[in-house]
Amino acid sequence: MSTAPSPAPSAGETTFLGHPLGLYVLFFTELWERFNFYGMRALLIFYMTKSFLFDDNFASISYGAYNGLVYATPLFGGMIADRLLGYRRSILLGGVLMAAGEFGLAFIGFGLLPQGVWSFYVSLSLIIAGNGFFKPNISTMVGSLYKQGDPRRDGAFTIFYMGVNIGAFASPLICGYIGERFGFHWGFGIAGVGMILGLICFTSFKQHLGGRGEPPVRRDLSGAPVSSAPMLALLLVGIVGFVPLGAYLVSKPHIVESYAAPLAGLAFLVYVFYEGARSTPAERKGIFVAVILTMFSVMFWAFYEQAGSSINLFTDRYVDRTVFGWEIPASVFQAAPAIFVVAFAPAFSVLWLKLGRIGRDPSSAMKFAWGLILLGVGFVSLVLAAKQAEGGAKASLALLLFGYLFHVFGELCLSPVGLSMITKMAPARLGGFMMGMWFLSAAFAHVAGGKLASLSTDWGFAKLYTIIFGLAFGSGALLLVLYPLLKKWEKERLASHHDDEATLPGD
C-alpha cells in the first residue's frame, strides 16, 4: 500500500486575484504544453495527406486512432501517479516524452531520422505516451489546490482552461503558418520548443505548489517503507515496450476502432461498477453522475473534434480564405476556437460565480445539456457553409467562424465544468483514476470522430454535418430528461463532503 505525504497547510497561502500562486504555475505549464500539442495537431491531417499522400478515409481514421490513444493513456498515467510516481514526476516525465516526439517529427524533415512512415509513427507514439503521464495529473493538481466545497474551484478550472486555450490559439498561428509556408518540420520543431518552455516553467516555480503532488510512500503490510526502485524499473520497461505498440496501432487504425476501443470500454465499465459496489452510497452516486456525464461528453467531443479532421479539410478545399487579397493557410483557422475561448471564458467564469453566490448555479448536468445544444447550433452554420460549397461556390468564411463560435459556447459549458465535476464527484482514493476516466472518454470520442470524418468521403460534408447536428440536439434533449435525477445525486454527493474529511490525493 502507499500513502501520499501531507501538503503544506493552505492557511496564509499567498494568492493572486483570489487564487493560490500554484494555479498560475500550472496555468503557464499547461499553456506551453498545449502550444506544443495543438501546434502539431493543426498540421497533422495535412502532413498525412500532403507529405505521405494518405487518402482522406485512411488519414481521418488514423488521425482519430492517434488522438484516441492520446486520450486513452491518461487513464493509466493517472493510476501510475496515484500509486507510484506522484503527480509532479508524472508531469515531468510526460513533458520529456512529448518533446522527444515533437523533435522526432521535426528531425524527419531535417533528414536526421529516416524518412519512412515508421519514424513518423514512432514519434506519434512518444507523444501519446507523454500525454498519458502529463494530462490527467496536471488537472488533478489544480483540484488539489482547493479544499472540497471551495466555491473558487469552478472558477479556477476556467482560469486554467484559459491557459489551455492561449496556447491552443497561439500555436496554429505560429506553427501552422510556418509549417504550411516553410515546411512541416519547422512547425513541429517550434511545437517541441513550446514543450521545453513548459517544463522550465514547472520546475522553476515548483515551490508555489507546496507539498502537493509528491510521490506516495510505499509500505509493506507491517507499515515499513519499501523501495520503489523495482516498480520504477518495470515502468521504464513498460514505456519502452509501449512505443512500438502505439506506433503499430496508429498505423493500423481499424484495430483501434474495431477491437481495442470496445474492449477497453467494456473493461473500464466493469472496473467502475466494481469500485461503485465497494463505495459508500454517496460515493456511489457521485461515481454514477461522473460516468453518465462522461458518456454524454463522448458524444460532444466526437462532434467537436471534427475541427482537426473533416472541418480542417473542408476549410482547406472549400472555404473562401482570402482576406484583403491574402489567402490565409487553412491550419491557421485551428486557432479560432481557442481565440473564442480566451475571449469568452472570463465571462463564463464570472457567470458561474455570480449564479453560485445567489444559489442559482446550474448543476453539471444542466451545463452539459446546454453544451450539446449549443454545439448543435454551430453545426447548423457548417451545414449552410457545406451547402454553399455543393452549389459550386466557395463557402463563406463568416459561416465557418460562426460555427466555431457556438462550438466554443458549448465547450465552455462542458469542458472546464467537466474537469471540476470529476474532482468533486470522485472518491478520494480514485482521484487520478477518475480524471483518467474523463480523458478516456475523449479517446472514445476521437476514435468515433475519426470514423465520422472518414464518412465525408461517401456522404459529403453537408450530409455529415446535418447528421451531427441532429445527434447533438437529440443527446442534449435526452440529458435534460435525466437532469432531475442527476441533480439529486450530485447534491447528495456534495453533501457527503460536509460529513467527513475526504479529500482528493494531495489535498
Please check whether residue 476 is in contact with residue 127, taking contact to mean a CB–CB distance below 8 angstroms: no
Of 30-34, 110-114, 199-203, which gets the smallest average pLDDT?
110-114
> 373-385: per-residue pLDDT in tens?
999 999 999 999 9
**How much is the average pLDDT of 66-94?**
89
| DSSP state letter for 52 | S
Percent of the chain with pLDDT over 90: 53
Q: What values do phi and psi take at 15, rounded to 5?
A: -125, 165
Count of CB atoms situated within 10 Å of the CB of 117: 16
Cell numbers 441532429 correspond to 470
If you classify domain 16-211+227-496 with CATH, what class do you get? mainly alpha
The pLDDT confidence band at residue 61, using thresholds 50, 70 and 90, is very high
Burial bucket for residue 448 (CB in 10 Å: 0-12, 13-18, 19+): buried
Whether 7 and 141 have beta carbons less than 8 Å apart is answered as no
Tens-place pLDDT, residues 133-145: 998 889 888 888 8
Whether the pLDDT of residue 313 is over 70: the answer is: yes
Per-residue confidence (pLDDT) for residue 9, from 0 to 100: 40
Average pLDDT over residues 44-61: 93
Comparing CA positions, the residue from 170, 82, 45 lying closest to residue 449 is 45
> Is it the case that residue 506 has pLDDT exceeding 50?
no
Rounded to an integer, the average pLDDT of 143-158 is 79
Q: How far apart are CA 84 and CA 10, in angstroms?
A: 25
What is the grid cell recorded at 208?
Answer: 508555489
Q: Among 67-76, 213-222, 461-470, name the one with the lowest average pLDDT.
A: 213-222
Single pTM value for the model:
0.83
Per residue, what are the HEC states of 157-222?
Answer: HHHHHHHHHHHHHHHHHHHHHHHHHHCHHHHHHHHHHHHHHHHHHHHHCHHHHCCCCCCCEEECCC
The residues that bridge with 16 in the sheet, in sequence order, are 19
Instruction: Quote the pLDDT of residue 110.
Output: 92
- Nearest by Cα to 341 from 20, 31, 22, 13: 31
Mean pLDDT for the chain?
87
Query: Residues 310-329: what's their mean pLDDT?
Result: 94
Q: Can you tell me the mean pLDDT for 199-220?
A: 83
Query: How far is residue 443 from each of residues 68, 71, 357, measured CA to CA in Å?
Result: 4, 4, 35
How far apart (Å, rounded) are the C-alpha atoms in residues 218 and 182?
Answer: 51
How confident is residue 74, by pLDDT bands cut at 50, 70 and 90?
confident
Percent of the chain scored above 70 by pLDDT? 93
Q: Is the predicted pLDDT of residue 178 greater than 90, yes or no?
A: yes
Evaluated on CA atoms 328, 334, 336, 339, the torsion sign reads negative
Q: For residue 33, what are the CA distances in angstroms to 38, 121, 164, 462, 477?
A: 9, 20, 8, 34, 35
Task: Label residue 357 exposed, middle or buried (CB < 10 Å: 0-12, 13-18, 19+).
Answer: exposed
- Domain ranges within the chain, ordered by starting residue: 16-211+227-496
Instruction: State mean pLDDT over 491-502.
Output: 68
Position 219 scores a pLDDT of 65
Segment 405-461, tens digit of pLDDT: 999 999 988 887 787 788 788 887 777 677 767 777 888 999 999 999 999 989 999
Q: What is the largest CA-CA distance in the chain?
A: 76
Q: How far is CA 30 from CA 44, 199, 208, 301, 335, in A?
A: 21, 9, 16, 20, 16
